[in-house]
Structure 1
Amino acid sequence: MDLKELKKIIAIFQKAKIAELEVESEGVRFKLKKEVKERKTSNRREVPVEVISVPAQPLEQTQKQSQIQEQEPKLLEGTHEIVSPMIGTFYSSPAPDSAPFVEIGQEINEDDTVCIIEAMKIMNEIKADVKGKIIKMLAENGQPVEFGQPLFLIELPPKG
C-alpha cells in the first residue's frame, strides 16, 4: 500500500459517518478512530399523547368476568346463589364414602355447611349464607372451582 492509497482511505474515512476503521493490506495494518458528533437536529416531531384511564383489574380477569356474566342465567326472583369464596377443588361430602353435606330439595339454615373446598391441601368448610331450599347443585364433586363461581342455587323462603 502506498501513500496515495493511504491518503484516499483517510479522506474517505473522514467523510464517512463511521467512528472506527481498521485496515490490513500487504503486511501493513492501521486503525483510524474519530469522534462522531451527535446530530442536534432530529427528524422526530412531538405528538400529543392522550391519556386513557384503565381499570386496575388485569385484562384477563376482566375478560373472565365478562364471560361469566354472559354465561350466567339471570337469577329468578326469590333465589340466591352460594358462590365459592376461593379457588380450589369442590367436595360435596366430608369423605369419599360418606353422604353429601346437602342434597337437592333439602332445607338449609344460615351457617349450615354445604360443601368443602380444598385449597393448598387445606379443607375449607363452606357455610350457607342464607336460609332456604337447595334447588340446584352447580358444581361437580372433585372438580376445580374458581373464585366467585356459583356452587348452589337456593330457593329463598317467601317473605312475610
Structure 2
Amino acid sequence: MFKIQEIRELIKLVDQSSIDEFCYEFENAKIKLKKNKETTAVQQTLLETDVVKTIPVVQETKQAEVKEGPAAPEKAVQPVAAEEATLHKIVSPMVGTFYQSPSPESSPYVAVGSKVSNETIVCIVEAMKLFNEIEADTEGEIVEILVKDGELVEYGQPLFLVKPN
C-alpha cells in the first residue's frame, strides 16, 4: 500500500508535468492519476481485495484578478533590511522531502551560525526514494533555516539564508 506522503509527491510531480495520466503498480497495489484543467483524480487500488479509493484533488490556479474602479487598499509593506538583501538563499533543486540530517539519530548537517563552503552538505532532499545531498554553493554563515525537518519542499523554494563572507 502506498503511503500518503508518496501519493502527495506523485500528485505534485504529475501536476507539474505535461502528462495527463499516470499509472503505477507495485506488489499488491496500483495507483492511477489522471488530470484535466480543473482537477486531479487519484485512484488507488488494492489488487488483493479490489477496493478502489478515488480522492479528488483540486489544483491551485494562479490567476491575477483584474478590478475596475477605485483601487483596493494595499497591505502595508515593511521595508527590507539592507542586511537581508545581501543574504544568499540556498534553494531546493527539486520537489521532495527536506531532511536536516543523514538519519534520525544523527545531528543536523548545519545549524544557525554554522560556517559553510561551496562543497558543504547542508541537507538532504528525498524524492521518489532517492536521497539527494544539497551543497551550500556559497561560502559564509548560516543565518536562518527556512524549513522544518520532514517538510515537503518545492523546486526553487529557499531552504537556508546564508550571510556571505
TM-score (norm 1): 0.52
Counterpart AA for 1:82: I
- Aligned equivalents of 1:87 and 1:108: distance in 2? 23
- Aligned equivalents of 1:81 and 1:134: distance in 2? 10
1:83 matched to 2:82:
no
2:160 aligns with 152
2:138 aligns with 130
Secondary structure of the equivalent of 1:76?
Answer: helix
Between the two proteins, what is the percent identity of the paired residues?
47
Structure 2 portions without partners, runs of 5+: 1-17, 19-36, 38-58, 64-78
Structure 1 runs (4+) deviating above 6 angstroms are 58-62
- Aligned equivalents of 1:62 and 1:136: distance in 2? 30
Residues 8-44 of structure 1: CA deviation (Å, up to 9, x unaligned): xxxxxxxxxxxxxxxxxxxxxxxxxxxxxxxxxxxxx
- Measured after TM superposition, the shift of residue 127 of structure 1 is 0.4
- Measured after TM superposition, the shift of residue 111 of structure 1 is 1.3
Secondary structure of the equivalent of 1:63?
Answer: coil
- Measured after TM superposition, the shift of residue 78 of structure 1 is 2.5
* Matched positions, count: 92
Secondary structure of the equivalent of 2:62?
Answer: helix
- Aligned equivalents of 1:83 and 1:124: distance in 2? 13
Counterpart AA for 1:107: K
- Measured after TM superposition, the shift of residue 89 of structure 1 is 0.2
TM-score (norm 2): 0.51
- Aligned equivalents of 2:88 and 2:109: distance in 1? 18
More strand by share: 2
More helix by share: 1
